[in-house]
Amino acid sequence: MKNLVKVVVGVGLLLCGMVTALQAGQYDYEVKDKKISFAWKVDGDRLAVKLTAETEGWVGIGFNPSKEMKDADFIIAYVKDGETKIINEIGDSETSHSPDKKNGGTTDVALVGGTEVGGVTTVEFTIPLKSTDKNMAINVNGDTVVLLAYASRDSFKTKHTYRTALKVNLGTGASQKAN
């Protein structure tokens, strides 16, 4: 009986390791900046995204602002008590954003999941490459300006603690700081 238990536990651990390896390899590219990372994979007509930051607050990403935050398509999420909350917003000025629906758009983000373990928040979701929102299309073959940010609290009203802007080619993984 002891040997059977050892075999079952061993097979279970092996399967857990395989699942972890599969999950870790599901993204084609990743960029890191200080305490935040953005991993992604182009999956047909959708972009699969994984945001990870050393924070117990929210993590966020914005795509293709026209200037600073203006016109960017933002996805912001946090995990609290094991539940992931996510919102989709649009940059309505150079320094602010508000809900897509309030600006005539739609919330077209699909939450995959989220965790908060040991002071690290990870959120995964997918978005369409061509949103139904006005002027919201992501070109995977050219440069995309990506805004990454995180905050220290689980509140969408909390301002970011850290932010950065990167120029990323989603098709090749090439990246650099944006001006």
| Gap between the Cα atoms of 76 and 60, Å rounded | 4
Contact assessment for residue 60 and residue 160, using Cβ atoms and an 8 Å cutoff = yes
Answer whether residue 2 is part of any domain.
Answer: no
Residues near 97 by beta carbon (within 8 Å), at least 6 away in sequence: 62, 69, 72, 74, 89, 90, 91
> Token digits for 16?
């857990």
Instruction: Please tell me the total count of domains within the chain.
Output: 1
Q: Are 152 and 159 in contact (CB under 8 A)?
A: no
Tell whether 91 is covered by a domain. yes
Q: Which pLDDT score is estimated for 44?
A: 92
Q: Higher-confidence residue: 6 or 105?
A: 105
pLDDT digits (tens, 9 = 90+) for 65-112: 989 888 888 999 999 999 999 998 888 877 777 666 666 666 789 999
**CATH (domain of 139):** 2.60.40.1210
Residue 9 belongs to a domain:
no
In sequence order, what are the beta bridge partners of 162?
150
Q: Do the domain assignments include residue 12? A: no
pLDDT in tens, 18-68: 333 334 459 999 999 999 999 999 999 999 999 999 999 999 999 989 898
107 lies in some domain: yes
Domain that holds residue 146: 29-177
Residue 7 belongs to some domain of the structure? no
Domain presence at residue 18: no
Q: Please indicate, yes or no, if residue 100 is contained in any of the structural domains.
A: yes
Q: Within the chain, how many helices (H) and strands (E) appear? A: 1, 12
Question: What pTM did the predictor assign?
Answer: 0.81
DSSP per position, 46-108 = EEEEEEEES-SS-EEEEE--SBTTBT-EEEEEEEETTEEEEEEEEE-SSS-EEETGGGT----
**Burial label, 29 (beta-carbon count in 10 A; 0-12, 13-18, 19+):** middle
